[in-house]
Amino acid sequence: MTSLPSPTKEDGKPGEPGGPPSPGGLQAGLKNRHLSMIAIGGVIGAGLFVGSGSGIAAAGPAILLSYALVGLMVVLVMRMLGEMAAARPTSGSFSAYADRALGHWAGFSIGWLYWFFWVVVLAVEATAGAVILESWVPAVPQWGWALIVMVVLTATNLVSVASYGEFEFWFAGIKVVAIGAFVVIGLLAVFGVLPGSDNPGAGFAHLTDSGGFLPKGPGAILTGVLMVVFSFMGSEIVTLAAGESSDPQRAVSKATNSVIWRIAVFYLGSVFVVLTLLPWDDPSIVKDGSYVAALNSIGIPHAGQVMNVIVLTAVLSCLNSGLYTASRMAFSLGRRGDAPGAFARTNARGVPRAAILSSVLFGFVAVFFNYEWPDTVFAFLLNSSGAVALFVWLVICCTQLRMRGIIQRETPEKLVVRMWLFPYLTWATIAMISFVLVYMLTDDTGRDQVLLSLLVAAVVVAVALVRDSLRRRSA
């Protein structure tokens, strides 16, 4: 087998999409244990802990089918992305692949939209973390905590990629241990074998004893899909991080192959435990949060504070990874001439300082908007990035349709991860994502997200097409 390129090099010529970096590029500072935990923790966002209660209230036990449908979609998308990333690891991931397979406009557009999504997430997560921290130490105002959290994580990202990996290793580790313990303890309580449990241990009865498994009807499954789909965003981060590891092909292959059990255990497993510990219409699920309510039903002391610690960890993990992801996408855009050249420069430790600082600066501005104009400016930012996750997945699918042929023609020996039943499952996934986007237009909340996200996407695509036209004329 032909040896893989260095993790700091990308296929192509300097200055071209996927071209090799200039001296002083990204360095292979991530270890296998970092990447393994980034892959595992990438699918566990704060949205799982915070948003699952609303999904349960909207769909009842059928929310399990909603999670399963979205989980299936993510598994298929990750398989496609894994196929491309294992063959051509690069810091730009799907943006660089779209550039090659669909055209420069596609790589430019999806790269900037993805960057925009994550810098808005920085503001959301910084605010969520500040709320928890202020409840513990009210002497520091919310905005002060948001500032402190972002400054600390910016500093860790600026030190080296290894420091990002180390922080994420421990953040993700806490999330994994917490959910694993929750599932085991919860199941013991469900079957009435947990010593000292306050839960009646009704087995699976709660899945059907309050109006059946589909108390809100089959349509509630799709409503649930809209409510949970964005909590899965982040599973693709490992394909960006793999470009800074010593063995990117192995890392991507391992992450792609393990995504099924990760989603099954962390999402389906934990939500299943909640639904079997409590009736789906128990008021505490929405009032206290699904996981806190479940822990309270068992009799775990100080369940609220325990869950706040876990949620804060998830928030810090998301902030840490969001800043890393936004900066690496900005770095890749700079390398391809789609962002200021300073974004493509790295310091002696292989850190793209300008890309990190510009990303966190926008995050700071978004935090300011959240405190000053939460219902106008920040609401626009939030809604206009709301459907970007689905756009990214759709572009990955379309890119893989073209990239399979390119890889087979140029480097067939690197096609070590293959999409199942290609191209049929790829087309089926495109149909699934398109259906969700169309269905969102029938939902009051989803409609605003799709329309505003489409507006922003149209502006970015228009800029890309104008840039391409100007480049062709100058050439």
Burial (CB count within 10 angstroms: exposed 0-12, middle 13-18, buried 19+), residue 109: buried
Q: Give dist(CA 245, CA 209) in Å, integer.
A: 50
Q: Work out the pLDDT band at 9, boundaries 50, 70, 90.
A: very low
Let me know: does 75 contact 67? Beta carbons within 8 Å.
Answer: no
Q: Which is more confident, 202 or 257? A: 202
**Residue 136 CA: distances (Å) to CA of 204, 274, 312, 315:** 37, 27, 12, 16
N-to-C CA span, the chain: 38
pLDDT higher than threshold 70 for residue 303: yes
Q: Give dist(CA 376, CA 369) in Å, integer.
A: 9
pLDDT higher than threshold 60 for residue 275: yes
112-129 residue pLDDT tens: 999 999 988 888 888 888
- Rounded to an integer, the average pLDDT of 28-40 is 76
Half-sphere exposure of 20 (CA within 13 A, CB side): 7
Collapsed DSSP state (helix, strand, coil) of residue 77: helix
- Give the list of residues 6+ apart from residue 100 with CB closer than 8 angstroms, or none: 17, 18, 107, 403, 406
249-263 residue pLDDT tens: 877 887 777 778 888
CB atoms within 10 A of CB 347: 12
The mean pLDDT value of the chain amounts to: 85
Q: Give dist(CA 240, CA 335) in Å, integer.
A: 15
pLDDT higher than threshold 80 for residue 137: yes
Q: Say what the pTM is.
A: 0.87
Of 229-238, 264-273, 291-300, give the lowest mean pLDDT range. Answer: 229-238
Q: Give dist(CA 346, CA 230) in Å, integer.
A: 32
- pLDDT of 13 reads 39
Q: Work out the pLDDT band at 316, boundaries 50, 70, 90.
A: confident
Half-sphere exposure of 293 (CA within 13 A, CB side): 26
Please list the helix, strand and coil fractions of the chain in percent, rounded to the nearest 5, in that order: 75, 0, 25
Q: Give dist(CA 362, CA 356) in Å, integer.
A: 10
Q: Give dist(CA 443, CA 187) in Å, integer.
A: 35
